[in-house]
Amino acid sequence: MAESAVKTKAAPAPGVGRRDFRFLVLKWFRELTLVPVIVVLMIAGAVVNPVFFTPSNLINVAEGGAALGMVVVAESLILLTGKFDISLQGTFGLAPLLGAWLVAPKASEGLGTELSPWLGLLVVFLVGLVVGTFNGVLVIKANFNAFIFTLAMSILLTGLQLGWLGGQTVYNLPEAFIYLGAESWFGVPVAVWVTIATFAVASWFLRYHRIGRAMYAIGGNLEAARAAGISVDRIRIGVFMVASVLAAIGGLMQAGRVTAVTAGQGSNLIFSVFAAAVIGGIALEGGRGRMIGALTGVILLSLVTNILTLSNVSSTWIDAVDGAIILIALGLAKLIGTERA
Amino acid sequence: MQRFSSTGPATSPAPVGEAENVSKTFGETRALVDVSLAVNAGECHALVGRNGAGKSTLVSLFTGLQRPDAGAIRLAGQSAPGLADRGAWLARVACVYQKSMVVPPLTVAENVFLNRPVGDRRSLVDWKRMRAEAHELMLDWGFDIDVDQEASTLTVEQRQIVEIARALSIGARFLILDEPTAALEKAAVDRLFERVRRLREGGVGVLYISHHLEEIYEICQRVTVLRDGELVLTGNVGDIGLAQLIAAMVGSAPPRRATEIEAARTAVLGETSLEIKGLNVASRSGSVYDVDLTVRAGECVGLVGLRGSGSSTVGDAVAGLLKPRGGSIVARGVVGYVPQDRHQRGFAPQLGVDENLTHTVLGRISGRFGVVSTRRRTEVATREVQRLQIVARTLDQPVSSLSGGNQQKVVVGRALAAEPAVLVAINPTVGVDVASKEALLDGIARVRDRGVAVLLISDDFEDLRVCTRLLVMVRGRITASFDRPPWDRQQLISAVEGLEVAV
């Protein structure tokens, strides 16, 4: 029999105000899949070590998550438009290293010019912008495969970071340069405020701005977006640029937190970034996912790292446990994801 | 070229859409040759022609996706905007495309207003207003679709409705409907027509493309027929009879095949090898409703239907690629399968001819522990190469470097290598040269005579000469059968186009 999916009767009509309650619950369910997991982890943390619930430890968790969070926002934006960028971790390391090198004293591996720290910050920003533009133009316009191109780019950036100072660490950085990562407002690190604000702005932009919606359309059906008159290439390149700048700012937070830039800053970060985004519901195939979900992914990963440290798990085992927990969270997200309406 | 004089009452000074002597060539293919066509305000103009006649190319010129090599496109009397200026095109022409232009993760409301601001602010989305307007639009149409629903959960019909709603709500004076009814039910088609009539009365000009000729007589005033890129007939619908329309579409075939398609000799039939009962399948490329058919050993049943009629869906279901919603499929023995799209499902391009030919029989050519015997592989591959006259330098030449015809022979050979009892072939000769076509059809005819039950799904009438019986599918159902060759071209086309003609 013909499936009468299109009902002919006009009434009762679905009221505009009437949003199916079940539908709403399921919609939020997907975004907040990880909340119960986070609650369980917090209980586990409290059991493992009483230090867990002290304000200083929780702030520590947030501070650790802030830098990661910036890169997760960055990667999520690109993932939504149906591409991805592995080299964000290279930008995360190289941009602050170049900035710091420019403004740090000679004695602490800097250039010794003692230029204004603002110039250093400008360099951090510019490195992000240049790398993002380069990636965007070549992946989108020249149609290079995003995986292999940004992987090569990542290796190049990380190599530059290592080679520039022969593997040395830049330290003794000027105050303005480390402000973002080292200072606090109302007892909470500035980096945490900035990351929360970034999540909020990105979330609002994706929901209410025309370009934000266009990003979902591009990731969801590129041809349809193009036919609807969306400038798909311009938006996708722009997203690459914004993302790299965000990653550079994340690197700056990390530098401020440890008041130095090591030659290894950012290495292997991208795995945590992808893990946080994906378990937070950002679809790898594009067009689906929300910032609130990505945020829960960041919180989850930060908590796991903290609890593992507090529970005196041997440092050689931390990676294995970390990986196992990510796999479990992925399985959970999949389970909920497929049960969606 | 035949031309019919009247062009109807000249209501508006400038046509809403006009092509003037446009030509377009893709490589060797002349897709359009010196075609002129005008769609006036307040008229519904039908554009018909068989697959490959140039309809889609003309649409791509009218929507600004491509530029004509020669000639000009004019919209509302003004010359067409540049290709890069999508906004200008979208304001003048709205089009419902053949392929789905719905964005699955977005809601229905967003899909309707894709990249269009609702309300006063240009760059911010007014969700409340957008949902309200989308809802109103749906009510206006009489469709019970929740506008907050994610488009990925919609059925094919509902997606189509969303696209039509989008195109109509843009408010362009020129509307192109490219086979809008292919996936719609009768009731939805009626509503669409009602809507088109209202738009027409409001001064919108519609270019209506459809394979269902009866629809043209229902809602169109003028009709233009394209064949092989050329305009062969244009005039008022009232002046052009159905027979004349079909004759214009088909053209004059080589004398021998003018009215009859060469017949296959009827072989002695064996047991029933394939039995389909009450088959129901839901599919984006055409759902199938209550299909019964049997194919006996030594028989070649041709299943003929337009794209979207569900004929290829039947083939995919028999091959086990689609799960039926109801009914049963019983095949006695191995089923060989020649997929519709050889590039997507037919072969592994970088692997050799021999490997591709033996993918279906890996179990048979490998010994204990699964080690493949290259000797047996060569044997099987050589047999198929000879059977289908595959032209390759060596047996291990990558299939990607073969000509299209030889690639297709590899796909058919792969299906035959398994020595199937049932062969399902979907458009097995599409896009191949004449010599390859002969070789492919000969190969199929020979396995038929050796007792294989063949289900040949095709909309290419040349393919049908190896068939011993034909079934015609329209909108997911079998609507006609031709039990004994030779087939009458005119009758067959009428049946395939869904016209009520005695057969």
SS3 B263: coil
Alpha helices for B263-373 (secondary structure H): 311-318, 353-357, 362-365
Residues B167-178 have pLDDT tens digits of: 878 878 898 988
Chain A nearest-CA residue for B98: A224
Is residue A122 situated within a structural domain?
yes
Asked if residues A72 and A297 have their Cβ atoms less than 8 Å apart, the reply is: yes
Kindly list the residues from chain B whose CB atom is less than 8 angstroms away from the CB atom of residue A216.
103, 105-106
SS3 B131: helix
Q: How far apart are CA B415 and CA B447, in angstroms?
A: 11
Domain that holds residue A256: 37-338
Min Cα separation A24/chain B (Å) = 10
Write down the pLDDT at residue A155.
Answer: 95
CATH label, B257-333+421-503, candidates 3.40.50.150, 3.50.50.60, 3.40.50.360, 3.40.50.300: 3.40.50.300
Min Cα separation A7/chain B (Å) = 6
Strands B326-331 and B335-338, by their bridges, are unpaired
Is residue A44 situated within a structural domain?
yes
Kindly list the residues from chain A whose CB atom is less than 8 angstroms away from the CB atom of residue B88.
none
Contact (CB<8Å) A3/B282: yes
Which amino acid, B114? L
Q: What share of chain B is helix, strand, coil (3-state, %, to 5)?
A: 35, 25, 40
- The partner residues of B338 in beta bridges, in order of sequence, read B425
Residues B113-127 have pLDDT tens digits of: 998 888 777 888 888
Residues B278-316 have pLDDT tens digits of: 999 988 778 899 999 999 998 999 999 887 788 989 999
Is residue A32 situated within a structural domain?
no
Kindly list the residues from chain A whose CB atom is less than 8 angstroms away from the CB atom of residue B158.
5-6
Interface test with B, best of A7, A8, A16, A20 (most B CBs within 10 A): A16
Q: Into how many domains does chain A fold?
A: 1
Contact (CB<8Å) A227/B97: yes
Ranking A261-265, A336-340, B16-20, B225-229 by mean pLDDT, the lowest is A336-340
* Option in B87, B106, B125 nearest A208 (CB): B125
pLDDT (mean) for A21-28: 59
* A175-A177-A178-A183 Cα dihedral, nearest 10 degrees: 70
Is residue A21 situated within a structural domain?
no
**CATH number of domain containing A256:** 1.10.3470
* Option in B104, B131, B280 nearest A16 (CB): B131
Is residue A313 situated within a structural domain?
yes
Domain boundaries, chain B: 33-102+163-247, 103-153, 257-333+421-503, 349-418
* Residues contacting residue A185 through CB under 8 Å, at least 6 positions apart: A193
SS3 A299: helix
Q: Sorting pLDDT into bands at 50, 70 and 90, what band is A2?
A: very low
Asked if residues A192 and A66 have their Cβ atoms less than 8 Å apart, the reply is: yes
Q: Sorting pLDDT into bands at 50, 70 and 90, what band is A16?
A: very low
Question: Across B85-94, B114-123, B264-273, B376-385, which has the greatest mean pLDDT?
Answer: B376-385
Write down the pLDDT at residue A28.
Answer: 65
Write down the pLDDT at residue B374.
Answer: 86
Contact (CB<8Å) A287/B105: yes
Q: How far apart are CA A231 and CA A211, in angstroms?
A: 10
pTM of this structure: 0.75
Is residue A30 situated within a structural domain?
no
Between these two residues, B198 and A244, which has the higher pLDDT value? A244
B33-102+163-247, what's its fold?
Answer: Rossmann fold (3.40.50)
Rounded to the nearest 10 degrees, the angle between the axes of helix A175-182 and helix A88-103 is: 140
Assess whether the region B33-102+163-247 and the region B257-333+421-503 belong to the same CATH fold: yes
Is residue A17 situated within a structural domain?
no
Contact (CB<8Å) A5/B155: yes
Contact (CB<8Å) A210/B123: yes
SS3 A149: helix
Chain A nearest-CA residue for B155: A5
